[in-house]
Amino acid sequence: MEPALDVEGLEKTYGAVRAVRGLSFQVAPGEVLGLVGPNGAGKTSTLRCLAGILPPSAGRVRVAGFDVAQAPVEAKRELAFLPDEPRFFEYLTVWEHLNFTARLYGVEDWEARGRALLEEMELTGREKSLPGELSRGMKQKLSIACGFLHQPRLILLDEPLTGLDPLGIRRMKASLRRRAEEGTALVLSSHLLPLVEELCHRLLVIAGGRAVALGSLPEIREQMAGGAGDGASLEELFVRITSAASEEARARGHEPA
């Protein structure tokens, strides 16, 4: 089966700073990949490169078979990027944002889908509100509703639960799980390790822009030398892996970006 996301040797540099260094991984349809790493590890840069917002400095990204550099429009039609700080057009209402998104992605039955999504996101009754009138959590939900409208094959989420209340978090987790079951691939970047542990099939741990571990939680435990990972929680594994990466970087004479 063709992977929903195929990344080969992805690099991103800002001047002298190498934010992402040679990342390679694949995400299959229906799979949820957790992207974790300490602050400044290169997670957001990676997601932005995958979404076609930033041009990679090297490497190749394919979304549903479309090369993001060669066929950006086709690739972007197959994905949705949900940033941690969603930005909206402040003069368009909630419903007009859905209308706008529908035209961009050619979603003909957008009204029925839009109503269902607003219901799911508990935004019913807010159709005529402007973004400036929404709380942070509601904005997050609107961003998700717009992202889900065209039923993308790949969803990139950067801290998707920011600003949501406990009920919203619960609904959001169920919603993401359901979409994965329907065949959508998800890449989820978050510092909330319990969420990652609960939702993700596999994890990609990055530090200093490099992949330091990739696999399911049991596989990563296995990878830890000498069985040091036996029975360890994701939090413990995270601390060990990223600490080891920092030590290694210092030994090489430079700090992780």
Partner 1 sequence: MSFPSAVVFLWVRTWRNRVVRQVQRLKRPRYLLGALVGLAYLYSLVGRSVFVQGTGRAVSPNARLFAELSLEVSVLGTLVTAWVLGADRPALTFTQTEVQTFFAAPVTRKALLHYKLLRGLLSAVLAALAATLFVGRFTSPRPVLFFLGAALAMGTLYLHGTAASFVRAWLVSQGRWGSAVRWAVVAGVLVAGMGTLLSTLRDYPLPENLSRPFAVREWLRDVLDAPGLRAVLWPGRALVAPAMARSWEGFLRFLPASLALLVAHYAWVLAVEVPFEDSAVAGAEARTRRREQRAARSGSIRVGRVPFVLQARGRPEVALLWKNLIARRRMGSGLVMLLSFGVLGAVFALVMGDTRLFSNSREFLGPMALMVALAMAVIGPSAFRTDLRMDLPKLELLRALPLTGRQVVGAELAASALTLGVAQWVMLLLALVLGVGADDVTLAPWSTPVVLGLLPVLPALGLAGLFVQNAAVVLLPAWIPADSERARGVEALGQRLLTLVGTLVVTFLGLLPAAVVALLVGYPLFTVMGRWAVPLAGLAAAGALCAEVALGVAVLGRAFERLDVSEEQSNEA
Residues in contact with partner 1 by CB under 8 A are 14-15, 45, 48, 51-55, 72-74, 76-77, 81, 83, 87, 89-93, 96, 99-100, 102-110, 128, 130-133
Instruction: Report, in Å, the least distance between residue 161 CB and partner 1.
Output: 20
Of the candidates 165, 154, 190, the one whose C-alpha atom is nearest the C-alpha of residue 61 is 154
CB 66 within 8 A of CB 99: no
Output 99 or 233, the one with its CB closest to partner 1.
Answer: 99
Tokens 């989820």 -> residue: 188
Dist. CA 28–CA 4, nearest whole Å: 5
Output 52 or 229, the one with its CB closest to partner 1.
Answer: 52
Output 19 or 200, the one with its CB closest to partner 1.
Answer: 19
Q: How many CB atoms lie within 10 A of CB 32?
A: 23
Instruction: Report, in Å, the least distance between residue 63 CB and partner 1.
Output: 11
Instruction: Report, in Å, the least distance between residue 103 CB and partner 1.
Output: 4
Instruction: Report, in Å, the least distance between residue 221 CB and partner 1.
Output: 35
Instruction: Report, in Å, the least distance between residue 185 CB and partner 1.
Output: 17
Instruction: Report, in Å, the least distance between residue 170 CB and partner 1.
Output: 28
Output 36 or 149, the one with its CB closest to partner 1.
Answer: 149
Output 68 or 200, the one with its CB closest to partner 1.
Answer: 68
Output 53 or 193, the one with its CB closest to partner 1.
Answer: 53
Of the candidates 160, 163, 149, the one whose C-alpha atom is nearest the C-alpha of residue 115 is 149
Instruction: Report, in Å, the least distance between residue 54 CB and partner 1.
Output: 5
Tokens 């997601």 -> residue: 47
Partner residues linked to 67 by β-bridges: 62
Output 115 or 177, the one with its CB closest to partner 1.
Answer: 115
Q: Long-range contacts made by residues 164-173, C-beta under 8 angstroms, separation at least 24? A: 164/137, 164/140, 165/137, 168/122, 168/137, 168/141, 169/195, 171/120, 171/121, 171/122, 172/144, 173/198, 173/199
**What separation, in Å, do the N-terminal and C-terminal C-alpha atoms of the chain show?**
35
CB 166 within 8 A of CB 112: no
Tell me the pairing of strands 210-215 and 202-207: antiparallel
